[in-house]
Amino acid sequence: MGISWIVLIAVVLGLVQHQLFARFGLARVRIDRTFSTGRCHAGEEVVMVETIVNRKLAPVPWLRLESTIHTGLRFGQQTNLEISSGAIFQNHRSLFSLMPFTKIVRRHQVLCVKRGWYKLETTAVSIGDFFGLQAAGRTQRLNLELLVYPQLARWEDIPLPSSRWQGDITVKRWIVQDPFLTSGVREYRYGDTMSSIHWKATARSQRLQVFNRDFTADPRLMLIVNSQITETMWDAVTDPELVERGLSYAATLAEYAVSQGIPVGFGYNGWVQDESGTPVYLAPEGGTPHLEAMFETMAKLAISCCRTFHDYLDQWIQDDGSPMDIVLITPFVAADIEASMAKLEARGHAVSIVPLAHHLTGTDLPEQEVQPYHAVNRR
């Protein structure tokens, strides 16, 4: 047999095997990816489990996976994994060889660097023949997502104002007296019961004295983060890291409040991804499920501003008139914000500020925003 026949047969066999791989090479090949958990806080690690299965008699000489993943998820170094990073996204390329009826399971350590709502929806799959030529390709649907909550700040790093919401508070706006809480004595008035008489004080003053019962209530807390960096800023947020710090403060305070049994709510004058233009408002509630819902909302927030902060506060004043403790987490306090705060206080709310900008010190704040709070240790 001449060399020409050998070359011809080789070409024919090469074309035949290439066509077979093009038609059947991806048959019964399955790619799957899962996270060890679907939710975590920024700064924590999760594991992404990647499974590639070849469930047929024919081998796959080579298989390449290509994915585009946000840089907020940092993958550890691993063999057969090539990563090229851009400013926002990074490209992942992996190369495998699959024997018949083979399953490969690979675990990636992933550091969640940044808060966000990460969706890994597709991966590009390519296979090749025995000559190294690409024979077929497809886009594999994954529908995989990971919610990364804001990083929890250290309690001592939050510039907390002196506040009343760490525990029971004494207020004058509630109707029902607390029989166990007293604040001194007073003279007897018509209608006071005999059991309320303070006999020792009566003997000392020679006039009938009774216990003065005070009024108590468990506080409700509302945390509102301002994504408007300066008074003149609109739409595009010029300092995203400052807003991220505010969300970190809000997540930390929310976790603490829920652990103390305090109903807590959350507000934000930006929007949730896929819901452009709608500010965020979650009414105060208690319990772990509500805290998880708040964290999920925080993870999905876009760094955006769809309403000025004082407009947001004024709109919220109209929507909710129930007295509560309100913490404004903001980079600045302008005259219009002070006016909105005054309206809130006139309706019975207690308003305090957690400053985000370093230049916003206690002397720059309205008079009711006093010194940073140090009396309560985080439990």
Q: Which residue has the higher pLDDT, 15 or 5?
A: 15
Co-location of 120 and 31 in the same domain:
yes
Residue 88 pLDDT grade (very low, low, confident, very high; cuts 50, 70, 90):
confident
Burial environment of residue 15 by CB neighbours within 10 A (0 to 12, 13 to 18, 19 or more): exposed
Q: Which residue has the higher pLDDT, 273 or 371?
A: 273
**CATH (domain of 120):** 2.60.40.680
Rounded to 10 degrees, the C-alpha dihedral 17/20/25/27 comes to -160
Co-location of 325 and 338 in the same domain:
yes
d(C-alpha 57, C-alpha 27), whole Å: 11
Co-location of 230 and 351 in the same domain:
yes
Task: Provide φ and ψ at 320, rounded to 5°.
Answer: -140, 115
**CATH (domain of 282):** 3.40.50.410
Q: What is the DSSP string of 327-378?
A: EEEES---HHHHHHHHHHHHTT-EEEEEE-STT--GGGS-TT--SBP-SS--
Residue 146 pLDDT grade (very low, low, confident, very high; cuts 50, 70, 90):
very high
Co-location of 202 and 163 in the same domain:
no
Residue 283 lies in a domain: yes
d(C-alpha 81, C-alpha 67), whole Å: 11
pLDDT at 172: 40
- Stretch 90-116: mean pLDDT: 93
Residue 373 lies in a domain: no
- How many independent structural domains does the chain possess? 3
Co-location of 160 and 201 in the same domain:
no
Residue 183 pLDDT grade (very low, low, confident, very high; cuts 50, 70, 90):
low
Residue 363 has pLDDT above 80, yes or no: no
- Stretch 132-159: mean pLDDT: 92
Burial environment of residue 163 by CB neighbours within 10 A (0 to 12, 13 to 18, 19 or more): buried
Co-location of 159 and 305 in the same domain:
yes
Place of tokens 């940092």: 74
- Stretch 101-125: mean pLDDT: 94
Residue 17 lies in a domain: no
The residue range of the domain holding 323 is 155-167+218-364
Residue 54 lies in a domain: yes
- Stretch 56-75: mean pLDDT: 93
Max mean pLDDT among 104-113, 214-223, 272-281 falls in 104-113
pLDDT at 237: 85
Co-location of 201 and 229 in the same domain:
no
Residue 4 lies in a domain: no
Co-location of 247 and 342 in the same domain:
yes
Residue 377 lies in a domain: no
Co-location of 223 and 352 in the same domain:
yes
Co-location of 98 and 77 in the same domain:
yes
Co-location of 207 and 238 in the same domain:
no
Q: Which of 33-47, 56-70, 198-212, 250-264 has the lowest mean pLDDT?
A: 198-212
Q: Which of 163-172, 224-233, 346-355 has the lowest mean pLDDT?
A: 163-172
Residue 292 pLDDT grade (very low, low, confident, very high; cuts 50, 70, 90):
very high
For residue range 300-331, list pLDDT tens digits in order: 999 999 889 999 998 876 665 678 889 999 99
Co-location of 199 and 159 in the same domain:
no
Residue 328 lies in a domain: yes
Residue 46 lies in a domain: yes
pLDDT at 49: 95
pLDDT at 42: 96
